[in-house]
Amino acid sequence: MFNRLTAPARALALALPLALPQAAMANEAAIGARKAQFQLFAFNLGVLGSMAQGRTDYDSGAAQAAADHLYHLTRVANPALWPEGSDNATAANTRALPAIWENLEDFAGRYAALQSGAEAMQAAAGTDLASLQGALGALGGACGACHDSYRAPAP
Ligand code: HEC
């Protein structure tokens, strides 16, 4: 199959892995992985937010499942997803501001607030709609507070 590539295509295929230095490739993988984690946060938060706002009917089992998922997803606090040089001034395809690496302790504190919010939601979501609604402010607020300081606006 490789032999069927035209000469220019073959040259390009061989050159591609050399186009990015090793560290940049590692950072690209970390950026992709942390974005995937955030997407899973957003999916599960969306289930809860939709019930809280009455766009879908409250369903205790589905609410508890989303809250359980968020709880476990937020236990993953992996510094390896945030390597030096993976900020948006240095790397492509990221909205992570350089301020993160200048304030790592504060950034970790914002993440800890998210973990607490997810824990409170896990205790509340399956009880009833009012309990879910009561826990949503702190949880969603933890997302927003970190984004305000450390995420660049969408392009
Ligand atoms: C500790 C800080 C912090 C917290 C807490 C946080 N985020 Fe983020 N979030 C970020 C940063 C920084 C980015 C940019 C990541 C990147 O582009 O590399 C981001 C990116 C995202 C993205 C875009 C992902 C993509 O594919 O580009 C979504 C969606 C998101 N966050 C949702 C959430 C939700 C929902 C919560 C709360 C349940 C949350 N985040 C909590 C810092 C945070």
Q: Which two tokens stand for residue 24?
A: 């940049």
Q: Is 147 in the pocket of ligand 1 (CB under 6 A)?
A: yes
- pLDDT for the residue 152: 98
Residue 109 and residue 142: Cα distance in Å, rounded?
10
Amino acid occupying residue 42: A
CB 87 within 8 A of CB 96: yes
- pLDDT for the residue 24: 86
Q: Is 110 in the pocket of ligand 1 (CB under 6 A)?
A: yes
In tens, the pLDDT along 57-110 reads: 999 999 999 999 999 999 999 999 999 999 999 999 999 999 999 999 999 999
In tens, the pLDDT along 9-63 reads: 666 556 555 567 788 888 999 999 999 999 999 999 999 999 999 999 999 999 9
Among 147, 149, 150, say which to mutate for ligand 1: greatest number of ligand atoms within 8 Å of CB.
147
- pLDDT for the residue 1: 43
Q: Is 30 in the pocket of ligand 1 (CB under 6 A)?
A: no
Closest CA to 152 of 81, 99, 77, 90: 99
CB 115 within 8 A of CB 75: yes
- pLDDT for the residue 15: 58
Q: Is 94 in the pocket of ligand 1 (CB under 6 A)?
A: yes
- pLDDT for the residue 21: 79
Q: Is 95 in the pocket of ligand 1 (CB under 6 A)?
A: yes
On the question of pLDDT at 2 being above 90, the answer is: no
Q: Which atom number of ligand 1 is nearest to the Cα of residue 111?
A: 1
